[in-house]
Amino acid sequence: MEQREVVVVDAVRTAFGRAGDKGVFWGTRSEDLAVGLLKALVERNPGVVPGMIEDSLWGVTNQVKEQGGTLGRMVTMLAGWGWEVPGCSLDRMCASGLTAAGFASACIASGMHECLVAGGVEHLGHVPMGFMRENHPRAGEAMGGEYAFNMGLTAEEIHRRFPEFTREMADEVAFHSQRKADEAMRAGKLSDRIIPIPVTLADGTGAVVDQDQHPRPGTTRQALAGLKTPFLENGNVTAGNSSGLNDGAGALLLMSGDLAREIGLKPLMRWVATGVAAVEPGIMGTAPVPATEKALKKAGLSMGDLDVIEINEAFAVQVLWCLDRLGVAADDPRVNPWGGAIAFGHPLAASGPRLVAFLAGHFRDNPRARYGLTTMCVGRGQGYSMVWENLQRN
């Protein structure tokens, strides 16, 4: 059977807040972050009505409390879409939202569906990482060591096994992530994909959140060098060269190319290929390499064919390792041109859709660019990569 063309019509997200009571979304529930995006996808795209959307696939890592109860279904009803739009929740930890995009793409490509929403949401302030999770008694043994449960220690393990990637190099990645994020924000590069979310702040006042809270534009190399290493005494991984704990959501509107043309929408990008891979959990941050290699092989492309590379910066050292093994320099201008998760934060399932939204922006700004990559590492030792083609080209 011939594979159908799959296109992304829109890619939106909330701003990312800091987790905890100082975060802008402390008084806002996870579902309401997602609901704002669902409403925006319909409002922003004339010709699209809720009845066209055949399923709502939502990545959610910690599916308890407000994030349980099949959030992907509940948010369609909270958005006022009626009872007829189905939905589900998916968990592949950090790549839950990107997996939702991958599953949606596969469903449309196969002819099973014409139009889907794929998103991801995480409120780490309300539902902390690992909350209410009960691991199997042999889980540590199966993963090669108890340290594999702690993502910071898996990053330290990469430093230990591959000492050529130093603390100074990791801090340099972090410095440039913050610098590039600041430049992009100042230039207004991010505003068209951030959906304003009304919130109630801790003091009871109302506000509308439309700017990321996590970036630290004044970050200096000296400040990064002075940070402690909380995961390992005299280690290399710090709060400065790691992604943050955050709250946020992101969502994509995907459909067949035929449907987009029929209703007169101009797609942003075309799905090309997906690759998922697994590695030793103790060095989980290395998995984007085999995942990317699989995706590129399916696409018939090489790293040299990619014009933009959006890699989630879970930890600076894993970005360094992955780029090196993929034959890409750490300072290659194709990599995270607007900065990454070290600057913007990493609300787990929301980060995959954020990568796609950023890629759409890069494609808009670079009409000569043809192919782009979104890739992530995943707790427990997985990687997820997707290759996309720019449809905003001259």
What mean pLDDT do residues 97-112 have? 98
Query: Counting Cβ atoms within 10 Å, is residue 222 exposed (0-12), middle (13-18) or buried (19+)?
Result: exposed
Question: For residue range 260-300, what is the model confidence (pLDDT) as tens digits?
Answer: 999 999 999 999 999 999 999 999 999 999 999 999 999 99
Question: For residue range 307-346, what is the model confidence (pLDDT) as tens digits?
Answer: 999 999 999 999 999 999 999 999 999 999 999 999 999 9
Place of tokens 């995706």: 295
pLDDT of residue 290: 98
Distance, in Å, from the CA atom of 373 to the CA atom of 48, rounded to the nearest integer, reads 27
- Helix/strand/coil for 340: coil
List the structure tokens of 86: 């189905």
pLDDT of residue 2: 85
Neighbours of 155 (CB within 10 A): 28
pLDDT of residue 268: 98
Beta carbons within 8 Å of 185's beta carbon, 6+ residues apart = 211, 212, 215, 217
User: What CATH class does 6-126+140-386 carry?
Assistant: alpha beta
Residue 394 has pLDDT above 80, yes or no: no
Check if 88 is active-site.
no
Residue 370 has pLDDT above 70, yes or no: yes
Give first-to-last CA distance, the chain, whole Å.
31
pLDDT of residue 201: 83
Neighbours of 110 (CB within 10 A): 12
Distance, in Å, from the CA atom of 149 to the CA atom of 145, rounded to the nearest integer, reads 8
Distance, in Å, from the CA atom of 345 to the CA atom of 362, rounded to the nearest integer, reads 19
Distance, in Å, from the CA atom of 146 to the CA atom of 281, rounded to the nearest integer, reads 10
- Helix/strand/coil for 123: strand
Beta carbons within 8 Å of 118's beta carbon, 6+ residues apart = 57, 58, 59, 97, 100, 101, 103, 104, 251, 252, 254, 353
pLDDT of residue 305: 98
Do residues 180 and 317 make contact, with C-beta atoms less than 8 angstroms apart? Answer: no
Enumerate the domain spans of the chain. 6-126+140-386
Question: For residue range 128-184, what is the model confidence (pLDDT) as tens digits?
Answer: 988 888 999 999 999 999 999 999 999 999 999 999 999 999 999 999 999 999 999
Residue 50 has pLDDT above 80, yes or no: yes
Among 88, 94, 115, 136, the one annotated catalytic: 94
pLDDT of residue 326: 98
pLDDT of residue 1: 67
pLDDT cut 90: percent of the chain above it:
96
Mean pLDDT of the chain: 97
CA distances from 258 to 1, 100, 112 (A): 17, 21, 14
The verdict on pTM exceeding 0.95 is yes
pLDDT cut 70: percent of the chain above it:
100
Report the run of H or E that residue 58 belongs to, with start and end: strand 56-59
Question: For residue range 186-218, what is the model confidence (pLDDT) as tens digits?
Answer: 999 999 999 999 999 878 899 999 999 999 999
Backbone phi, then psi, for 57, in 5-degree steps? -100, 115
Among 107, 115, 322, 377, the one annotated catalytic: 377
What mean pLDDT do residues 364-368 have? 96
Distance, in Å, from the CA atom of 282 to the CA atom of 147, rounded to the nearest integer, reads 7
Among 123, 176, 346, 362, the one annotated catalytic: 346
Query: Is the Cα dihedral 152, 237, 59, 269 positive or negative?
Result: negative
